Amino acid sequence: MRTFETLLHPRSIAIIGASSRSGNVGNDVLKNIVENGFQGEIFPINPKVEELYGKKVYSDIGDITSPIDLAIIIIPAKMVNDVLKQCGEKNISSVIIISAGFREAGNAFLEKEIIQTAKKYHIELLGPNCLGIINPHISLNASFAPITPQKGNVAFLSQSGALCASVLDWAREENIGFSKFISTGNKAIIDEYALLEYLMRDEETEVIALYIEDLQNAPEMMEFLRKIVKKKPIIVLKSGTTDEGLQASSSHTGALAGSDDAYSAIFRQSGIIRVCDTQELFIAIKTFSLYAKYIPEGKSIAVITNAGGPGVLLTDDIAQRGLRLAVFSEQTRNAFSEGLPSASNISNPVDVLGDALADRYTLALEKTLADPFVHMSIVLLTPQTMTEVEKTAQSIGEAFKMNTKPIVAIFMGGELVTPGIKILQKYGVLVARHPNEGSCMLSLLYQWKEICHRHKYVSYKDENIQEEGKKRARDIIENARLKNITGLPEAYALPLFEGFGFRTLASHLAKNAQEAKKYAQEIGGSVVLKIVSSDILHKTDVGGIRLGVSWEDVEKEYEEMILRVLQKAPDARIDGIMIVQMAPQEGMQMVVGAKRDPVLGSVVMVGLGGIYVEILKDVSFGVTPFGYDDALFMIRSLRTFPLLDGARGGEKLDTENLIQSILLVGMMMEEVPEIQELDINPLLVLPQGKGTIAMDGRISLSFS
């Protein structure tokens, strides 16, 4: 277990590259350390200077005889590795490399050198190409950030130094404090996972916020966070998507799984609260820095307002965020009828009217907070001629002191409401200036409540299916390996799916027209003809599917399909044509698939299937391993879920079997490492109780 004691609580610091030039990074870092009151020993190193900021300057790190906990390197990249070796020989256990010019500048070899050196000497290395660190609890600003934040309970980690500076500037204005402030840079040795493990144990940290641009090992992060995430809220702002996800893929899932939804699945299943932009990041930091311990019991909100329009805007935003307005108890409604003007709206939102003095707000807030059907409250104030801004703020603050339910005050305006905002801040009340900001705060708190009360994580396994599936998969994959085939079309993919418990239609692979007729007669009734080729991704594009063919016409249709496909795909290798039983004319076509990503792990997708999957893109994702509740969330996230659930009097479909299909695909990806991508498309979801049918499918393999 890594303690990072000398990195984040050093007793002595050497600054290699301390500069006498104002505005130089080496000067700014030293100045910040000295002038912010760090109590440990400080050793500036620069062969051309004798004294800086009242500190003796050393020519070389070898000249320092005292022990050094932390070295900060701010010199040209090509010189860093030699200096890092000197640090290792001097038994310096922690090093921050602020210098840029490594992997991010195309010099990966320089970064590889410092990684090798750090590992050789067991150095905890932060960076390179980073801003540095700040620990306000020991008055340490070991960075070139121009602002040192106040002490607080939020730890912030960021790959972007520029974003660090913006967050610090915003936090000073909002009076937000930090426990630790860490710029991770290129993450050559120390990454987010190592720091998260430390911060989960750190008593000064109650909230963790991250900005990340890339993930090195998402499955490892998920496994770690699932064990500890309920202890402290973790907020993440993630930019970018994987290059791999944007490359051409051999399946619908592969084409779509590079989307940002896959990252959202990782964060959701890990228990991380994801925000979409810097504004929401700031709101989340502010919310949890004040209210991390104010967990609402439910999603019902009481709104008190003196303005109808903003109240309506707020109501809309509450609904869009998946929250709801509380329905008041009879006792609460009676109290409003007696205590508020007759023109007031006594349902929700409660309109105390534009001429409301502080006493009306006090009454409304007192009664709503006492209502058992109210879990959270929002008090919205606009500055009108009779509005008592400061008295109202005072009454909200007093109510907050006596209450355990989250309260957000939305004071809309500028100069007129600022005195009230300052009063609320002194009480520790969450304050917003805009309706959507206030509803966002409560939405974040509710997300945290859901994470804290989430079911215990369980990975889906079925030992009977597992053994049969693995056995059949080994036979099919070994045959493909011998033939050097990496793309398994329907004729080979469906038997593998059957081994893992999927129901399929009766089918046969016909090598010629005569075999096709024989198989059609065996199946009986009309059949479907499907071209079989590992070189053809979409059969419909080349005329490779015919529905409802009678056994009398099968031979003719067989010959015509072969000619038609070869005209459109002359280089395709054709193994024959599948003669398939006609599917039931009921239910709904879905797709279930998966892709193995080098960064994200195995990403499983479910969505509207057939030919519409990449057109409408109504899909959702999960990342293995996962359990029943994760699969349920995936299907409930679809825009088409109401159709599965029998919307508008429609027949309810077998969603339980669809969930089982998602779980089976996840298990398949865990048990068969050769599978890189797969699609079951369409997966026909039949009416409730009738199950599902895997009607078509494809698998992409890798033998490396």
Low pLDDT (below 50) residues in the chain: 241-249
Which numeric CATH code is attached to 506-582? Answer: 3.30.1490.20
pLDDT of residue 256: 61
Neighbours of 391 (CB within 10 A): 16
Identify the pLDDT of residue 243. Answer: 47
CA atoms within 13 A on the CB side of 455: 11
Comma-separated ranges of CATH 3.30.470.20 domains in the chain: 458-503+585-704
What is the CATH number that goes with domain 458-503+585-704?
3.30.470.20
Q: Render 57-110 in DSSP notation, one character per residue.
A: PBSSGGG--S--SEEEE-S-HHHHHHHHHHHHHTT--EEEE----SGGGT-HHH
Smallest CA-to-CA distance from 178 within 144, 212, 141, 146 is with 141
Amino acid 215: pLDDT: 76
Place of tokens 């890594």: 2
Question: What stretch of H or E contains 666?
Answer: helix 655-671
CB atoms within 10 A of CB 691: 18
For residue 102, give every residue at least 6 positions away whose Cβ sits within 8 Å of its Cβ, in sequence order, or none.
77, 108, 110, 111, 114, 128, 129, 186, 188
Q: How far apart are CA 437 and CA 331, in angstroms?
A: 31
d(CA 594, CA 665): 7
- Give CA–CA dist 142/280, Å, rounded: 27
* Residues 6 or more apart whose Cβ sits within 8 Å of residue 641: 635
- CA distances to 101, 118, 183, 184 from 128, in Å: 9, 12, 10, 8
What 3-state class would DSSP assign to 631?
Answer: helix
End-to-end CA distance of the chain: 33
pLDDT of residue 248: 42
Architecture, CATH, for domain 294-452:
3-Layer(aba) Sandwich (3.40)
Q: CATH classification of 5-247 is 3.20.20.70, yes or no?
A: no
Query: Alpha-carbon distance 188 to 460, whole Å?
Result: 35
What values do phi and psi take at 440, rounded to 5? Answer: -60, -40
Distances (CA, A) of 261 to 286, 448, 598, 621, 671: 26, 20, 16, 7, 24
Provide the residue count of the chain: 704
The residues facing 152 across adjacent strands are: none
Q: Enumerate the CATH 3.40.50.261 domain ranges in the chain, comma separated.
A: 294-452
DSSP string for residues in 193-259 = HHHHHHHHH-TT-SEEEEEES--S-HHHHHHHHHHHGGGS-EEEEE----HHHHS--SSHHHHHTTS
> What is the reported pLDDT for 247?
46
Q: Which regions of the chain carry the CATH code 3.30.1490.20?
A: 506-582
Q: Within the chain, which residue ranges are assigned CATH 3.40.50.720?
A: 5-247
Q: What is the pLDDT of residue 249?
A: 44
Cα distances (angstroms) measured from residue 428 to each of 149, 397, 409, 425:
18, 8, 11, 5
- Pairing outcome for strands 94-97 and 124-126: parallel
**pLDDT recorded at residue 246:** 42
Distance CA 199, CA 232 (A): 9
Phi, psi of 199, deg, nearest 5: -70, -30
Q: What is the DSSP letter of 653?
A: B
Rounded to whole angstroms, the Cα distance separating 315 from 137 reads 41
